[in-house]
Chain A
Amino acid sequence: MTEQTTKNNSRVLNDFIWAIAPVVIGLILTTLALIAVGADPAKAYATMWNGAFGNTEKLSGVLDAWVALVLCSVGLLITFTAGLWNIGIEGQIVMGAIFASWVARSVNLPAEMLIPILLIAGMIGGALWALLAGALKVYGRVHEIFGGLGLNFVAMGIALYLIIGPWKREGIASTSGTEPFPLPANLINFPGLSVGPIEIVIAFVALALVYFALRGTLWGLKLKAIGKNTRSAFWLGIPTSRYMLGAFALCGAFAGIAGAEQAVGVWARLIPSISGGYGYLSILVVLLSNFHALAVPFVAFFFAALAKGSVSLPLDLQIDSALGGVLQGIIVLLVVLAQGVRAKVR
C-alpha cells in the first residue's frame, strides 16, 4: 500500500467517524432520556421500528411522510441557496392543503383531470403564501424568519377557521377535521394505503429538477451569488429582489404540493394539524444533509421513519411520542456542532 492510499483510507475513516459519532452520541443521550423516564429503551426502539416498518400500511405511512419531507426539503434547498431562512414553509404546506381542499370539495371531474388540478391548486396556494413572506422581506424589510413564522400561525388559524366554520361537518363543528372529500377512493394512492406512485414519482422528479437547476444552470449560479453576498450580486446586475421572490415562490410551490398530498392523499379531508410539522422537520433534514440534494432522500427517509415510528409509543408503552423529535433534534444539533468542532480542530 502506498503512502497516498493509506492517507486516503485514514481520511475516509476519519470522515466516517465524524459522521457517525454524533448519531451514536445522540442515540446514547436519547437512551438515557428513556431510562430517566423509567422506560425500557430496547422496547421503545423495537416499538418505533415496528411503528415504522411493522406492516405495509405502516411503511406506506413512512413513505407519505417521506414524500412531504423530500418536497419541502428540495424547496428549502432553493431558498437556502439564496441565503433565505424560509421558516414559513409550515404555513405554505397548510395553504397548499387549503387550496387543494377547496378544489377537492367543489370540483367534480374524472380522476385524470382532477389530479393535476388538485396538485396545481396546492402549488398555487403554497407559492402565494410564500410570496407573501417574500414580499414582507423584500419590500417591507421584515426578516423572513418572523414574517414566515407569523404567517405559519395565521395559516393555521385560517385552516382552523375553515374547519370549524364554513367547511364544518354536517351538524357538528369539531376540530377533528372537515367532512371527507367527495373524491374517488384511492385517487392517487395504492389501494388501501396512504401513498401512491404519482407522489413518489413527483418527489423524485422534484429532487432531480432542483439538483440540476442549482448545479447546472445560470439561474442556480445567480441564486448562489445572492446567497453568498446579496449586495455584490446586485451590483453585478442580478435582479436580487426578483430572484428572492422567485426562490420563495418555488419553495412554496413544492411545499404546496406536499400540503395537497397530505390533504388529498393521506387524510382525504382538511385537519387542523395538516402540515404534520413536516415543514420545520424538513429544515432539520436539509441541515443534516448539509445542504446536499443527494443526501436529502436518505435523511428524509430516516426522519420519516422516526416521526412515524414514534407515533405508536404512547399507545403501546405510554412514552410520549415527542421522543422521535428529541432524537431528530439531538442528532442534528450534534452533527452541526461536530462540523464546527472538526473545522476548529483541523
Chain B
Amino acid sequence: MDTNLIILTLASILADSSPLVFAVIGETLSEKAGVTNLSLDGTILLSAMVGFAVAFTTDNLYLAFFAAMCVGAIIAAIVAFSSIVLKLDQIAVGFVLTLLCGDLSTFFGNPYVRKPGPQVSHFAIPGLAEIPVIGKIFFDQNVVVYLSVLAIVLAWWWIYKTQPGLKLQGIGERPAAAFARGTNVNRQRFIYTLIGGALVGFGGAAYSLFVKLGWSYHHTYGIGWIALAIVIFGGWHPIRAALGAYIFGGLQSVSGLAQSIPAFANVPTQVFQTAPFALMIVALLLVSNEQIDRFFSGSPVSRKIWNSLRGTPPGALGSVFEQE
C-alpha cells in the first residue's frame, strides 16, 4: 500500500467518524453530569432527517444544522425533565423516545427519501493544508470535521481544566457534595443534558448533510446505540471516547475493504452491516469483564496501563438527586 492511499484512508476515517464523534462527546457530557440520554439512536435519526429536510427546503446549511441541534436539545430536554423533575426511569423514557423519534423520522422524512440535496462543501484551510501528510489528513477537510476535532479538545479542556468542569464532574460523581459546595446540581444537569443533546443533533445532521448524504428509511442504521456503547468503551472520557469512535470508523473502512475480497463475495452487504454490533458486544466485554480485569491487574505496570485505558462510570450516573 503506498503512502498516498494510507493518507487518504486516514483522512476519510477522520471525516466519516465526525458525526459519531459529536454524538459520543454529547453523550459523554450528559452522562458526566449524571444523566443517561438513552434516546441517542432516535435523536440521531430525527435530527438527521430534520437537518436534511431544512437544508432541502431552504438551501441554508446553517439553518439546517441549527434545526438539528434544536431537535437534539428538545429530546434531551424531555429526558432531563422526566428524570430530574419527575424522577422517572431514565432508561424507560429514553427507550420510548428512541422508538418514537425513529418513527417520527420515517413519518415526516417520507417526502425526502432519496432526494438529492445540498451538502457541506469542502474547505481546505489555506496554508495548513499544504503541510505534508498532516495537512492532507487534518486540514484538507470541511468545517464539520474541523469542528468535530475542536469539540473533542474543548470537551476535554472544559471537563478537566476548568472550574465549571470540575463542578460538572462533581455533580456526576457526588451530587450531594457538589450541592453542599453551592452548586445547583439539578440545573447544571439540565444544562449539560441539553448541550449534550444539541451536540448529538449536530452529529445527526452531519450524517445526512455530509457523511451519508440525503435521507432514507432508518438512514443511520443503529449508530446511536454504537455511540452509547462507545461512551462506555471510552470510559466516560472525551478523548478516549473519540478514539473509540475513530477505531470504529477505521474498522468500518477495513470491513468495507473485506467485502471486496473474493472469499466474502457471497456474503451479502446486509450481513456486513450487522458486524459493528457484534464488535460492540466484544468491545464492551473487553472493558467490563472481571477476568480480563484481574489478568491485567497482575503487575503494577500492566495495571497502570489497563486502568488508563478503561474508566469507571460517574458515581451518580442515572440516579436522582433530591435537593432541599
Q: Which residues of A contact B (CB under 8 A)?
A: 33, 36-37, 85, 87, 136, 140-143, 145-147, 149-154, 156-157, 160-161, 164-165, 175, 272, 280, 283-284, 287, 320, 322-323, 325-326, 328-330, 332-333, 336-337, 339-341, 343-344
**Smallest CB separation, B103 vs chain A (Å):** 3
A85-B91, A284-B96, A329-B100 given; A340·B86 CB < 8 A: yes
Contact with B228, one of A146, A325, A326 (Cβ below 8 angstroms)? A146
Q: Is the CB of A142 within 8 A of B266?
A: no
Q: How far is the CA of A332 from the CA of B98 in the complex (A)?
A: 12
Q: What's the dominant secondary structure at chain B's contact region?
A: helix
Q: Is the CB of B92 within 8 A of A287?
A: yes
Q: Is the CB of B222 within 8 A of A153?
A: yes
Q: Which residues of B contact A (CB under 8 A)?
A: 38, 78, 82, 85-88, 91-93, 95-97, 99-104, 106-108, 110-111, 222, 225, 228-229, 232, 266-268, 270-271, 273-278, 280-281, 284-285, 288-290
A146-B229, A160-B270, A322-B103 given; A336·B281 CB < 8 A: no
Q: Is the CB of A165 within 8 A of B266?
A: yes
Residue of A nearest to B274 (CB): A157
Q: Is the CB of A150 within 8 A of B277?
A: yes
A149-B225, A326-B107, A337-B86 given; A160·B268 CB < 8 A: yes
Please list 12 pairs of residues, one from A and one from B, whose beta carbons are closer than 8 Å in the complex, sorted by A's number: A136-B285, A140-B289, A146-B229, A154-B274, A157-B274, A160-B268, A161-B268, A323-B107, A329-B97, A329-B101, A333-B100, A341-B86
Q: What's the dominant secondary structure at chain A's contact region?
A: helix
B228 neighbours in A (Cβ, 8 Å):
146
Q: How far is the CA of A175 from the CA of B270 in the complex (A)?
A: 10
Q: Is the CB of B82 within 8 A of A340?
A: yes
A341 neighbours in B (Cβ, 8 Å):
86
Q: How far is the CA of A284 from the CA of B274 in the complex (A)?
A: 24
Q: Is the CB of A336 within 8 A of B100?
A: no
B101 neighbours in A (Cβ, 8 Å):
329
A145 neighbours in B (Cβ, 8 Å):
38, 91
**Smallest CB separation, B36 vs chain A (Å):** 10
**Smallest CB separation, B186 vs chain A (Å):** 14
A322-B106, A339-B88 given; A333·B93 CB < 8 A: yes
Residue from the set A161, A272, A322 with the largest chain B CB neighbour count within 10 Å: A322
**Smallest CB separation, B282 vs chain A (Å):** 9
A146-B225, A329-B96 given; A140·B285 CB < 8 A: yes
Q: Is the CB of B271 within 8 A of A160?
A: yes
Q: Is the CB of B88 within 8 A of A337?
A: yes
A332 neighbours in B (Cβ, 8 Å):
96, 100
**Smallest CB separation, A27 vs chain B (Å):** 15
Residue of A nearest to B104 (CB): A326
**Smallest CB separation, B303 vs chain A (Å):** 18
A337 neighbours in B (Cβ, 8 Å):
82, 86, 88, 93
Q: Is the CB of B110 within 8 A of A161?
A: no
Q: How far is the CA of A153 from the CA of B226 in the complex (A)?
A: 12
**Smallest CB separation, A144 vs chain B (Å):** 11
B92 neighbours in A (Cβ, 8 Å):
287, 336
Contact with B288, one of A140, A150, A156 (Cβ below 8 angstroms)? A140
Query: 4 nearest interchain CB pairs?
Result: A340-B86, A329-B100, A157-B274, A325-B103
Q: How far is the CA of A146 from the CA of B111 in the complex (A)?
A: 33
A333 neighbours in B (Cβ, 8 Å):
78, 93, 96-97, 100
Q: Is the CB of A322 within 8 A of B107?
A: yes
A344 neighbours in B (Cβ, 8 Å):
85-87
B86 neighbours in A (Cβ, 8 Å):
337, 340-341, 343-344
Q: Is the CB of B277 within 8 A of A141?
A: no
